[in-house]
Structure 1
């Protein structure tokens, strides 16, 4: 919720919430990509071709879209953490201006999500990102469960692999 609500958002930094959006996008991408691994018993024709032409390509396009959202979320997280456009450009081997043109709209959209005056975001993806940014603890706990369900047992992620890493804001000083 936004500040003034339950207080779920207030304790976390904008960078922590941006990192959480990135984690959410990574989870979505992983789930979409993982669905491609099994080959269903009735998925293929006897000659090995698809029984439903075009469906695999449509599903792959959804994976690419999820990867794009993850990529943008990573750039927004870097910006919220203080990286300037030059750093982002250097990492991507493009100019600072090219990096800014590529990611400025995603950064602006994220900052608008955090605004208490902002109404519901447009579209399903916008609503989901708004929920992730505004309800960080609830989303982090869900992602904790997701990580633990998919853990291979030797990574030592602990019991709170997402929520345990969120950085809280320091106490506010009264003036």
Structure 2
């Protein structure tokens, strides 16, 4: 039980709820990285139309791709902890079940051992407000507080979405009985 949960007298989150929280975090980081790539910087293009700083746009896109892969991995772990079979994961991804298993079994095992993030993920920072390295440890240590932080993030980025309520992340997480 996390320290914050013990203080609140609440049961800890289920494994599936914690896995969903990790997926929410990865989606947050992916969204922030993608959003950062939209504006055209003042000095990105030279007056003659050439690229001002070659390689920067591609490096940004590569960070988005890495974040997208982490999000897919986190979603697969969530699905597995929620009871999905390797066959279902393979079907959704358009690959054979054994390919899905080969791709995600290690991530699932890592999660079940309490290692919520890919090895080296803490060093893969993309400048996202959700992406600071302490946040990953914070989420493992204080999942409710991390979920509340993600609630705030979602509410700040609603973009016209309605019906999310005041707890769009934390409100959907289930606890152990």
Bin of the TM-score, shorter chain as denominator length: 0.7 to 0.9
Q: After the TM superposition, which of the residue ranges 126-135 and 49-58 deviates more from structure 2?
A: 126-135
Matched, 1:90 2:91: yes
Deviation at 1:91, TM superposition (A): 1.2
2:5 to 4, 7, 17: 7
* 1:46-125 matches, cutoff 5 A: 46-113=47-114, 124=122
2:176 to 156, 166, 169: 169
2:144 to 137, 140, 143: 137
Larger Rg: 1
Change in Cα spacing, 1:42 to 1:67, as seen in structure 2 (3 Å) is same
Deviation at 1:96, TM superposition (A): 1.2
Q: In the alignment, which residue of structure 1 is the partner of 2:165? A: 158
Change in Cα spacing, 1:162 to 1:98, as seen in structure 2 (3 Å) is same
On the 8 A contact 2:2/2:12 being kept in 1, the answer is no
Q: In the alignment, which residue of structure 2 is the partner of 1:31? A: 32
How many Å separate the matches in 2 of 1:123 and 1:95?
27
How many Å separate the matches in 2 of 1:154 and 1:94?
33
How many Å separate the matches in 2 of 1:152 and 1:64?
23
Q: CA RMSD in A?
A: 2.3
2:153 to 146, 153, 165: 146
Q: Show structure 2 runs of 5+ residues with no match.
A: 124-132
How many Å separate the matches in 2 of 1:87 and 1:72?
15
On the 8 A contact 1:20/1:140 being kept in 2, the answer is yes
Change in Cα spacing, 1:146 to 1:5, as seen in structure 2 (3 Å) is closer
How many Å separate the matches in 2 of 1:90 and 1:155?
32
What TM-score results when the alignment is normalised by the length of structure 1? 0.83
Structure 1 stretches of 4+ moved >6 Å: none
